[in-house]
A and B are shown apart, each in its own frame.
Chain A
């Protein structure tokens, strides 16, 4: 027998997929990014506990220099920091949608299926999803102002 299972690759198999399926994949990717970020963040920030030189070398390693009592950040690192904020925003707001729908809210009631079939578990939570994505977009715009226009 040929094993036709895709394994982890199946998370990223999006041929013929619906929009929520794309959100699932993005949620996975941003989740891994966050786990990776938090691990690295804790390790790097932990260097403060050793000495000031260790802390300074860590700062220069992540592209931050301290000159004339002002912190200067490498613009590329700054841009990636903004992308991280986008990842956090997406993961948080999509997470709210998932918590609500997975506990049976906003997905309606079962009904008699009539042709052409409509999948209500997809159609019903769409307004919630759009609402949360608009809020996410709003925060992302504030992020642009905060990251690139003020500082």
Chain B
């Protein structure tokens, strides 16, 4: 059992004018994550400490914070692997702090909602009451699958220099999601989405610093998505953007020996 010093960012908007760092020394054993340490502090040393967490297994994206200067998920960071006697924990940068380690992600969630992060199609009736599934090949799936693993933890924002300078920049994960849906072979709403993207501080304000991709804990690579988004936006403005939108899978045959082998269409989930 080793004792490790934690320097934790503290800020209570009702009491403090400025944030400060508070030190806690806690016993650490093998397998303990930074989130475990923060929970230990809250349960045993200082119940006023606030942080956001939920799944504790790197899925929900709630516990993104800056650990020893690097943006990481607290639940995914082993204390002993940091090989440091003092661990500094701060909230995600370039976002307002609600309290202690809780950043305010609402502005980015609003931006995310504005870029229409869902499949948009011309056949709205088929979307509302689907008769069959849409056709999609594994190659078409790979075009966007990587970007669909985004957990919206906001860590990409903290290393993005454009996010730090401009308030209205959409941000890496939002633009990556705009590409994720635009690259989906079932979607035909790129033009609609482009209206939300095409603003003063938009894709052209991403200067490929790649901080977002280096920070991403899920291998989503937002910088890659943003460059592809630029590519299709340029192609669109030059009139070279053509997309074959996926069709509905054909209905099973009504006659013939194989007619019973086709499963019925799945029931609508929404």
Binding site for B on A (CB under 8 A): 1-11, 13, 15-18, 20-21, 24-25, 27, 98, 101-104, 107-115, 117-122
Chain B residues near A107: list those with CB within 8 A: 224, 227
Chain B residues near A119: list those with CB within 8 A: 210, 213-214, 216, 219, 221, 223-224
Given the interface pairs A15-B69, A107-B224, the reply to whether A3 lies near B96 with Cβ below 8 Å is yes
A74 to B142, CA, bound (A): 60
Asked whether B96 lies within 8 Å of A110 as measured between CB atoms, the reply is no
Asked whether B209 lies within 8 Å of A16 as measured between CB atoms, the reply is no
Chain A residues near B225: list those with CB within 8 A: 110
Given the interface pairs A1-B98, A10-B165, A102-B227, the reply to whether A18 lies near B219 with Cβ below 8 Å is no
A125 to chain B, nearest CB (A): 9
A115 to B165, CA, bound (A): 32
Judge if B36 is at the interface, Cβ distance under 8 Å: no
Most buried by A among B95, B103, B223: B223
Judge if B143 is at the interface, Cβ distance under 8 Å: yes
Chain A residues near B19: list those with CB within 8 A: 2
A69 to chain B, nearest CB (A): 47
A113 to B147, CA, bound (A): 9
Judge if B182 is at the interface, Cβ distance under 8 Å: no
Chain A residues near B143: list those with CB within 8 A: 109-110
A114 to B147, CA, bound (A): 13
> B214-234: contact bitstring with A at CB < 8 Å (1 yes, 0 no)?
101111110111011011001
Asked whether B11 lies within 8 Å of A2 as measured between CB atoms, the reply is yes
- Chain A contact residues: over half helix, strand or loop, or mixed? loop
How many positions in chain B have a CB within 8 Å of any CB in the partner chain?
54
Chain B residues near A113: list those with CB within 8 A: 146, 149, 218-221
Binding site for A on B (CB under 8 A): 11, 13, 18-19, 68-71, 91-98, 103-104, 142-147, 149, 159, 161, 163-165, 167, 183, 206-211, 213-214, 216-221, 223-225, 227-228, 230-231, 234
A20 to B239, CA, bound (A): 32
B80 to chain A, nearest CB (A): 18
Shortest Cβ distance from B149 into A: residue? A113
Asked whether A16 lies within 8 Å of B146 as measured between CB atoms, the reply is no
Asked whether B231 lies within 8 Å of A16 as measured between CB atoms, the reply is no
Asked whether B221 lies within 8 Å of A120 as measured between CB atoms, the reply is yes
Interchain CB contact (< 8 A) of B224 among A16, A27, A112, A120: A120
Known: A5-B93, A102-B208, A103-B231. 7 other contacts (CB 8 A): A2-B13, A4-B95, A21-B209, A24-B207, A104-B228, A110-B224, A122-B210
Asked whether A121 lies within 8 Å of B165 as measured between CB atoms, the reply is no
Most buried by B among A1, A8, A25: A1
Asked whether B165 lies within 8 Å of A98 as measured between CB atoms, the reply is no
Interchain CB contact (< 8 A) of B146 among A6, A101, A111: A111
- By Cβ-Cβ distance, the 8 closest A-B pairs, closest first, are A10-B164, A117-B219, A113-B219, A104-B231, A24-B209, A121-B224, A16-B70, A119-B213
Asked whether B209 lies within 8 Å of A20 as measured between CB atoms, the reply is yes
Given the interface pairs A21-B209, A121-B224, the reply to whether A5 lies near B98 with Cβ below 8 Å is no
Asked whether B161 lies within 8 Å of A4 as measured between CB atoms, the reply is no
A71 to chain B, nearest CB (A): 39
A121 to B223, CA, bound (A): 6
A17 to B183, CA, bound (A): 29
A117 to B224, CA, bound (A): 14
Chain A residues near B219: list those with CB within 8 A: 113-115, 117-119
B162 to chain A, nearest CB (A): 9
Chain B residues near A8: list those with CB within 8 A: 164-165
